[in-house]
Amino acid sequence: MEFGFFTVYLRDMTRYVRFRTQLLSSLIMPAVWLAFFGVSMASNLDRLSDASAIPGVLNISYLTFMGAGVIAMTTLFTSIYGGFVLLFDKNWGLMREIMASPLPRRDIVIGIAGSGVTKSWIQTTVVILFGLLLGVHFFTGQSPLRTVVSFGGIFLFVALFSAGFVFLSAALALSMDSPEGFQGITTLLTMPLFFVSNALYPITGLPQILQDIAVVNPLSHLVRGIRYFAIGDDFTAVGMHIVTTPGEVLISLGVLFIFVVIMFAFALRQVNRTVVT
């Protein structure tokens, strides 16, 4: 089965579309987070941005600054639960049928990762469009062609990050038997990853030990890429001057690529060791 991963991909996307409650909640949640948390925090933190404005440098609102963080947050939470379907299949006996088919085992995790990336792209588009309606200033001053390129850059960063965490999620799901255990591990992972990152605030304001952790946090590299393409390489926000060079963006891209390779190897090892009776 040369394109067996597409069968796994199509099955998971069909489930995603048919479960209306899951579909609507996954699209509404990030928009609500941006609307309530972002707008309420912006009313307080924008005073810092105004006080620290530098002549000739783009000064953005906290809502715009946080918009990139919400995209990253949504991608993280969507991807880390992307492999849960494999745990469901194990518990309901469906994995036995999949393992007995001619489908190469690597296609199982590739197909699941593909559906996870597609879901993340859908949610990213929703957050961007809803954010623009709320007053998020993405792509300011960019030409239509540059905006298309920026969308492509954002989607590339989201795809790498999402694929890496879906691979991790798939490996965890294949090694566990209970949904409670899976949920406990993923919750333990997501909270530190989210709060020890630059999603909600610049990492330069964190204690040194947390800055060191944030530097190697894949979520920080995702946010850096999103802000670079959506906002720009030189701006002030939350009382700080933030400059991002193309070299730093390439480093973040490389870190995410290495992350994907490591997580794919981990997931492939786990799926090859899985025995379903």
d(CA 63, CA 46): 9
* Collapsed DSSP state (helix, strand, coil) of residue 62: helix
- Which are the contacts of 25, defined by CB distance < 8 A and separation ≥ 6? none
Q: How high is the pLDDT of residue 43?
A: 64
Indicate the pTM of the whole model.
0.90
pLDDT at 1: 46
pLDDT of residue 17: 81
Report the candidate in 96, 169, 85, 161 with the shortest Cα–Cα distance to residue 123: 161
Interatomic CA distance for residues 94 and 216, integer angstroms: 37
Tell me phi and psi for residue 102, to 5 degrees. -70, 0
The structure tokens listed for 233 are: 């390489």
Among the residues of the chain, which ranges form H helices? 4-18, 20-33, 39-51, 62-80, 84-91, 94-100, 105-134, 144-174, 179-195, 208-215, 218-230, 246-273
Where exactly are the structural domains of the chain?
4-273
Cα gap 148→94, rounded to integer Å:
41
Return the biggest CA–CA distance within the chain: 67
> Which pLDDT tens digits describe the chain residue by residue (277 residues)?
456 788 889 888 888 888 777 667 777 777 777 777 766 676 666 665 555 667 778 888 888 888 999 999 889 988 998 888 888 777 776 777 777 777 788 888 999 999 999 999 999 998 899 888 888 889 988 999 999 999 999 999 999 999 999 999 999 988 887 888 888 888 888 888 988 999 888 888 788 898 999 999 999 999 999 999 999 999 988 778 889 999 999 999 999 999 999 999 999 999 888 776 6
Spatial separation of the C-alpha atoms in residues 263 and 273, rounded to whole Å? 15
C-alpha to C-alpha distances, 83 to 30, 90, 261, nearest whole angstrom? 20, 12, 17
3-class DSSP state for residue 240? strand
Round to whole Å and give the CA distance between 225 and 231.
10
